[in-house]
Amino acid sequence: MNDRDSGAAPVAVLDVGKTNVKLSAVAADGTLVETISVPNRVLPGPPWRHHDLTRLGGWVFETLAVLSRRHGLAAVVAAGHGSGGVLTGADPDVGDGAALPMIDYEQPLPPDIRDGYSPLAGTFLDRGSATMHGATHQARQLYWMEEREPDAFGKARWYLGLPQYWAWRLSGVAASEASFLGAQSHLWNVAERRFSPIVSARGWERLMPPFSKAWQTLGWIRPELVRRFGLPAEMRVLTGGHDSSLNHYRYHAAGLRDFTVISTGTWIVGFSRSTPIERLDEHRGMTLNSDVFGNRLGGILTMGGREFSHIAGSNPPTDDAPIEVLGRLVAQRTIAAPSFGDDDGLFPGSAGRGRILGPAAETAMERKALALLYCALLTVECIEALSADRLVVLDGSFLRDPLYAGVVAALLPERQVRFNLDAYGVAAGAALLAGHETREKPAPLALSESIDLARLNPDLSRYAANWRAVARAMRGNRDKFENTEGNLHG
456 pLDDT exceeds 60? yes
Q: Does 223 share its domain with 288?
A: no
Q: What CATH number is associated with residue 177? A: 3.30.420.40
Q: Does 342 share its domain with 439?
A: yes
- 244, 273, 299 - which closes a domain: 244
How would residue 45 be classed by pLDDT, with cut points 50, 70 and 90? Answer: confident
> What is the Cα–Cα distance from 267 to 260, expressed in whole angstroms?
16
490 pLDDT exceeds 50? no
Residue 286 lies in a domain: yes
How would residue 482 be classed by pLDDT, with cut points 50, 70 and 90? Answer: very low
Residue 368 lies in a domain: yes
Q: Does 309 share its domain with 414?
A: yes
- CA-nearest of 296, 463, 448 to 387 is 296
13 pLDDT exceeds 70? yes
Q: Which tens digits make up the pLDDT trace of 377-407? A: 999 999 999 999 999 999 999 999 999 999 9
Q: Does 82 share its domain with 228?
A: yes
Q: Does 185 share its domain with 261?
A: no
Q: Which tens digits make up the pLDDT trace of 318-366? A: 999 999 999 999 999 999 999 998 888 899 999 899 999 999 999 999 9
Q: Is the peptide bond prior to 47 cis by the omega test (within 30 degrees of 0)?
A: yes
Q: Does 306 share its domain with 209?
A: no
- CA-nearest of 60, 58, 161 to 102 is 161
Residue 484 lies in a domain: no
Residue 4 lies in a domain: no
Residue 295 lies in a domain: yes
Q: Which tens digits make up the pLDDT trace of 53-81? A: 999 999 999 999 999 999 999 999 999 99
Range of the domain at 429: 255-474
Question: For residues 120, 122, 128 and 130, what is the CA-based torsion angle, rounded to 10 degrees?
Answer: 70
Do 325 and 308 touch, CB atoms closer than 8 A?
no
Residue 452 has what pLDDT? 87
Q: Does 306 share its domain with 427?
A: yes
- 197, 213, 244 - which closes a domain: 244
Q: Does 72 share its domain with 96?
A: yes
Q: Does 238 share its domain with 268?
A: no
How would residue 7 be classed by pLDDT, with cut points 50, 70 and 90? Answer: low
> What is the Cα–Cα distance from 42 to 19, expressed in whole angstroms?
9
Q: Does 233 share its domain with 322?
A: no
How would residue 457 be classed by pLDDT, with cut points 50, 70 and 90? Answer: confident
- 182, 210, 244 - which closes a domain: 244
Residue 2 lies in a domain: no
Structural domains counted in the chain: 2
CA angle 225, 228, 229 (to 5 degrees): 75
